Chains A and B, each alone.
Chain A
Amino acid sequence: DVKVTQSSRYLVKRTGEKVFLECVQDMDHENMFWYRQDPGLGLRLIYFSYDVKMKEKGDIPEGYSVSREKKERFSLILESASTNQTSMYLCASSRRGVGYTFGSGTRLTVV
């Protein structure tokens, strides 16, 4: 079974803090993705990466950055957390042309 592991299930941070969300996959997938999931808005793509050190903006990259130094790890960074970034964050990975495998999600609350 492909495993995508997100380091935290729940996270509470203060406004203005720098926040790191970590995601690790164990199946040597080329592609990794960060989405946020909000009621009524579905899944919206923040950033994705198709190779080590490669990244592309998704539909809502503002306020976020990413890092992929190793193939198995894809980090989402909130440079200065704001309350409108309170959300469920989902990481996914895929091999080219194959459906995604998702992590369990990190529910981030910014207070």
Chain B
Amino acid sequence: AQRVTQPEKLLSVFKGAPVELKCNYSYSGSPELFWYVQYSRQRLQLLLRHISRESIKGFTADLNKGETSFHLKKPFAQEEDSAMYYCALFNSGGSNYKLTFGKGTLLTVNP
């Protein structure tokens, strides 16, 4: 069974500090990983996906198959980064189109 683990429920950093939100997954097939973000009073939205290897709002995430991790990183956190972040795993093969989400990490960036 596929599983996504986000070990930190809460993460608090100061503005300008580096931030890393951890995500580990378990899946036997070829995983496709995503990070979703939900700002206060806004809908959940896609932040980035591993196959696009892009940087969005200064965030990057690298898929490490050896460590089964997909940590989200940003070198200098901003107050507007405060939000709930969810890591998600998608089965890109077969007929299963479901996303499995982690429990989320609430990031607070303090001034």
Identify the closest chain A residue to B97 (Cβ).
A31
Residues 98-111 of A, flagged 1 when their CB comes within 8 A of B and 0 if not, give: 01111111000000
Interface size on A, residues (CB 8 A): 23
B49 contacts the other chain (CB 8 A): yes
From 76 to 111 in chain A, residues with beta carbon under 8 angstroms from any chain B beta carbon are 90, 94, 96-97, 99-105
From 20 to 34 in chain A, residues with beta carbon under 8 angstroms from any chain B beta carbon are 31, 33
Query: If the complex has contacts A40-B103, A42-B103, are A99 and B49 also in contact, measured as CB distance less than 8 A?
Result: yes
Neighbour of B101 across the interface among A42, A48, A94, A105, CB < 8 A: A42
Q: From DSSP, what is the main secondary structure of chain A's interface residues? A: strand
Q: Is the CB of A90 within 8 A of B97?
A: no
How many chain B residues sit at the interface, stated as a range, is 20 to 34
- CB neighbours of A102 from chain B (8 A): 43-45
Q: Is the CB of B92 within 8 A of A97?
A: yes
Identify the closest chain A residue to B105 (Cβ).
A42
Residues 38-61 of B, flagged 1 when their CB comes within 8 A of A and 0 if not, give: 000001111001000000000000
- CB neighbours of B36 from chain A (8 A): 100
- CB neighbours of B9 from chain A (8 A): 40
B104 contacts the other chain (CB 8 A): yes
**Given pairs A43-B104, A99-B90, 18 additional interface contacts (CB within 8 A):** A33-B99, A42-B6, A42-B86, A42-B102, A42-B104, A43-B44, A43-B86, A43-B101, A44-B101, A45-B100, A50-B95, A58-B98, A90-B44, A94-B97, A97-B92, A101-B46, A102-B44, A104-B43
- CB neighbours of B70 from chain A (8 A): none
Identify the closest chain A residue to B48 (Cβ).
A99
Identify the closest chain B residue to A42 (Cβ).
B103
B34 contacts the other chain (CB 8 A): yes
From 53 to 111 in chain B, residues with beta carbon under 8 angstroms from any chain A beta carbon are 86, 90, 92, 95, 97-104
B90 smallest CB distance to A (angstroms): 8
